[in-house]
Amino acid sequence: MDISITGLSKSYTTRKKVLSDIDLTFQAGSFTAILGPSGCGKTTLMRCISGFLNVDQGVIRFGDQEVTHLPPQKRGTAMVFQNYALWPHMTVYENIAYGLKIRKYSKQEIEKKILAILETVEIDTQDVKKRYPSQYSGGQQQRIALARALVLEPKLLLLDEPLSNLDAKVRQRLRVEIRKIQKDLGITAVYVTHDQDEALSMADQIVLMNEGKIEQIGSPENIYKHPQSYFAAQFIGTSNSLQVEYRDGAFYIGQQLIYIPQSPPALNKMSYDLVIRSKDARVTQDRELESELLSFQGILRESLFTGSGYRHWLEVERQDIYIESEENIPEKGLCFVQIPREKYFLYSREEAI
Amino acid sequence: MNAKLKLFLKFLGYACAIFVIFGPISSIVLWSLAQKWYWPHLFPQELGLFYWQKVLGGNIMHSLALSFYIAILVTLLTLLFTVPMSYLLARYKIPAKGLILTLFLLPQAFPQLPVFTNAMVLLYRWDLVGTMPGVVLIHLVGALVYSVWTLVSVFRSIPIALEEAAINVGASKLRVFFTIALPNAIPGIIAASLLVFLYSLDEFTGTLLIGSPFITTMPIYMYKTAMGYEMQVAAITALLLMLPGLLLLFLIEKYLKSQYLATFGRG
């Protein structure tokens, strides 16, 4: 069952729209990550889908059924919250049984379903009838919350930054496991996050949002390799941006002439943003003149050892950029930055605004 | 030296605290046991349980029972009214929410005496002066304030995600209230009801104005006997009035330690 959203708009006050003209489709059994900085409207979008917020305009469909004005109880979605939202006064067993009881399953059925789902999320079933959520670690609590959502076999699983309260190691593991469970059960999932690593590593489809609008929709690879806007380019990956100017028939960074094989703009003068990923550039001390490379000079200020390599801080025409590479550069001072043609992105300023 | 000084100061602190807390109480205890105590003697000349026997055998038991009866009734009525109302105020958009809350604070903003005297005029008109319903009503004026203001913040402190999680799995709003909000608010509700109970038990001004001459609660009884210079009876009444407070404080301690209070937002 595909889930589709068309022309959705939402505003809290009359003035500013929190969401405008959202068009989206979540394919049955797919895993979609809604990615964006805080305040971009991603949580609002999720709350509209789950029914906790009314939309101003637009239509939400679950398969053939229109759910735009259904209350949250009747949508058949299941949500996993950032703070788990497990009920502290119920045992783990009661927590998971809550929704099943509302659906009037028999006791035996409830027990069977709970044991099965706990096995799936790898929680020890032995004493779940006696223990309370607070007696479990954060990672385990989120597994329990996941079990509580999954046991109802929802049409749509909504995850609202479920891993952001956990420490790095647990997060890494749960990422892989959530993805595996979602695939095994063939459930449609929407995952809200501000963490691009999570989005890139888990999702089939990424919806990149900014200021209430969709910037780009695509597969993780597509979004990473072909960002369609300045925002997309600088948000994904560890990116640097440099101001570039077109004047007198050539491109400049500050006073430095650079060669960019791009048809000149219609105007005589124009500003651009050049986005470079930290990992895609190289820092060298002698310039190799290769037409396949974009290259410009800068001053190496500092190099930091990061374990797997080095992080170089360079100043290019009074603008700071950071380049990561494996090799150390012992001498500070003048050096060159070189980037393969397909690895940098240039956006004219109007687009950036 | 420093350690010794610290120990000394600590000791001094404890001694002060004990003196401040138990000094007045010990005087009351002494008075309640004094059968004969005339100036200039430092301690009573004759100790005994005479007045205790007199008090426990006499009218005071009636007052004590009446006080508890009224306090329990007031507490139950208050909870019945304020628990759902506080939940609504805490969770839903209600027109003139600020006004409603201020309205509840209003009787406390003015001195008690004029408020109660004006209430008395009204209650005379309805023929409620000197009756139980009248006293209960006048106690409710103060009790509702304490309860609403405590309970609104209790309900607000429950993470809203807990309730949304329940709605999300299909629970109706009524069910969410009874199975999620209410159980999580219980420590707060107990605290609020103890506050109300103690308030009603110790309420004096309103009871005196509305209840007399027929309704004699413990504080009124104490006032009347102390007026008659029966210091012993007043002392015993004071001690008896202290007991429920102590007991309830003990209960608060016990309930506020209940395990699920500590679980919110644990990571």
Looking at domain A238-352, its CATH class is mainly beta
Q: Are residues B205 and B84 part of one domain?
A: yes
Whether residue B53 is contained in a domain is answered as no
Whether residue B107 is contained in a domain is answered as yes
pTM of the model: 0.79
Q: Are residues B251 and B215 part of one domain?
A: yes
Is residue B210 packed enough to be buried (19+ CB in 10 Å), middle (13-18) or exposed (0-12)?
buried
- Confidence at residue B266, expressed as pLDDT on a 0 to 100 scale: 32
Q: Are residues B184 and B92 part of one domain?
A: yes
Whether residue B265 is contained in a domain is answered as no
Q: Say if B110 is an interface residue toward chain A (CB within 8 Å).
A: no
Q: Is a pLDDT exceeding 50 seen at residue A352?
A: no
* Confidence grade of residue A131 (pLDDT, cut at 50, 70, 90): very high
- The partner residues of A79 in beta bridges, in order of sequence, read A158
Q: Say if B167 is an interface residue toward chain A (CB within 8 Å).
A: yes
Q: Are residues B63 and B39 part of one domain?
A: no
- Confidence at residue B95, expressed as pLDDT on a 0 to 100 scale: 82
Whether residue B74 is contained in a domain is answered as yes
- Confidence at residue B260, expressed as pLDDT on a 0 to 100 scale: 34
Pairing assessment for the beta strands A77-80 and A156-160 based on DSSP bridges: parallel
Q: Are residues B16 and B116 part of one domain?
A: no
Domain ranges for chain A, please list them.
Answer: 3-232, 238-352
Whether residue B15 is contained in a domain is answered as yes
For the stretch A289-339, pLDDT in tens is 777 788 888 999 888 888 888 999 999 988 899 998 888 888 888 888 888
For the stretch A276-294, pLDDT in tens is 998 888 888 877 777 778 8
- Confidence at residue A116, expressed as pLDDT on a 0 to 100 scale: 93
Q: Are residues B248 and B154 part of one domain?
A: yes
Q: Are residues B228 and B101 part of one domain?
A: yes
Domain of residue B42, residue span: 2-47
Of B170, B259, B267, the CB nearest to A103: B170
Whether residue B267 is contained in a domain is answered as no
- Confidence at residue B256, expressed as pLDDT on a 0 to 100 scale: 59
Contact B128, B134 (CB under 8 A): yes
- Confidence at residue B1, expressed as pLDDT on a 0 to 100 scale: 64
Which chain B residues touch A149 with a CB distance below 8 Å? 169
Which chain B residues touch A77 with a CB distance below 8 Å? 168
Which chain A residues touch B164 with a CB distance below 8 Å? 52, 72, 79, 81, 85
Q: Is a pLDDT exceeding 90 seen at residue A106?
A: yes
Kindly list the averaged pLDDT for each block of 10 residues, start to end, along chain B of length 267: 87 92 87 83 84 77 87 95 92 83 78 84 87 90 85 89 93 94 89 86 85 83 75 82 81 58 35
- Confidence at residue B101, expressed as pLDDT on a 0 to 100 scale: 79
CA distance A324 to chain B (A): 33
Q: Are residues B74 and B40 part of one domain?
A: no
Percent of chain A with pLDDT over 90: 50
- Confidence at residue B262, expressed as pLDDT on a 0 to 100 scale: 40
Q: What is the ipTM of this complex?
A: 0.83
Q: Say if B259 is an interface residue toward chain A (CB within 8 Å).
A: yes
Q: Are residues B185 and B124 part of one domain?
A: yes
Count of domains observed in chain B: 2
Q: Are residues B111 and B16 part of one domain?
A: no
Whether residue B52 is contained in a domain is answered as no
Q: Is a pLDDT exceeding 60 seen at residue A218?
A: yes
Q: Are residues B12 and B101 part of one domain?
A: no
Q: Are residues B10 and B127 part of one domain?
A: no
Looking at domain A3-232, its CATH class is alpha beta
Tell me the CATH number at B77: 1.10.3720.10
- Confidence at residue A107, expressed as pLDDT on a 0 to 100 scale: 94
Whether residue B153 is contained in a domain is answered as yes
